[in-house]
Each structure stands twice: as C-alpha cells, then as structure tokens.
Structure 1
C-alpha cells in the first residue's frame, strides 16, 4: 500500500474516499495489499483528489509485493538451519 500513501496520507482518508469502514482499510494495510476488485474505485478516488493512478501502477505495486520476501516466517524457509546442522 506504500505506493498510494502520497494520495491518501491516512487510512481514514482512503476509507472515506472509498466509502469503506476504517477497519477494512486497516486490514488491507496489515496484509500489505488491496484486493484487485477495488482497482477502479481507487483510480476514480485518486482522480477526484487530482492524482494520477493507473491499472499499470497498481499492477506494478502488486508485482513488487509478490516478489518481496514474506513478512511472516513459518519455519519453512530453505535458509532455516536445523538444530542438528548447527552443531
């Protein structure tokens, strides 16, 4: 969601512009992504704020997020060292 903070400096601003509850936007922030079904709403809301946001911008942001390492390590990383290997 970092790619849109210049348009909506607060989650409350984004929630208000999209007509969504603050808790919904907070969940998006926690996940680090906005569901694609809101792309056109985001584009229209950005335009209403005088900003340019395109499907290409949103797709690039999703690609960057998908390429980034996971924020949660569930112990399945190939880089994890087993206790036996550490000895």
Structure 2
C-alpha cells in the first residue's frame, strides 16, 4: 500500500484516476489493502502518471502484509 500512496499522495487523486469514489479509496487505506481486482487498473493509472508499478510489486506488497505480526493477532 505504501508504494501506491507514494504515487498518489492524495486519495482523491487516486480515486479520480481510477474512476472510483473517494470513499472506496479511503476504505482501502483504512483496511490497509487494495482488492486484487484493481491491480491492472492501478498499473495502467500509474503508467499514465509516468510511474512504474507492476504485478510483481503488488504481489510482493500483499505477501509482506500477510506475514506481518499485526495479522497474527
């Protein structure tokens, strides 16, 4: 998630670039995860901004999150 919010520091910008509501993106940030169904849209939107984002980066972020100590609680 951190990499995504470095590309889009403002949730409103991410929501606009994906054609989603601000509330949807805010819920992602609150939960600390973005549903995988948005991966390709995220990659395309990042590319339009001239930023690099790949499926590998997104998959790695999910894998790291699943191993975090917070999830064990």
Tell me the equivalent position of 1:42: 42
Larger radius of gyration: 1
RMSD of equivalent CA atoms: 1.5
1:33 partner SS: coil
Determine the C-alpha separation between the residues in 1 that align with 2:63 and 2:10: 23
Moved over 2 A (4+): none
Structure 1 residue ranges without an equivalent (≥5): 74-87
Structure 2 residue ranges without an equivalent (≥5): none
Return the TM-score normalized by structure 2: 0.92
Q: CA deviation at 1:70?
A: 2.2
Tell me the equivalent position of 2:57: 57
Higher helix share: 2
Residue-pair matches, total: 73
Return the TM-score normalized by structure 1: 0.78
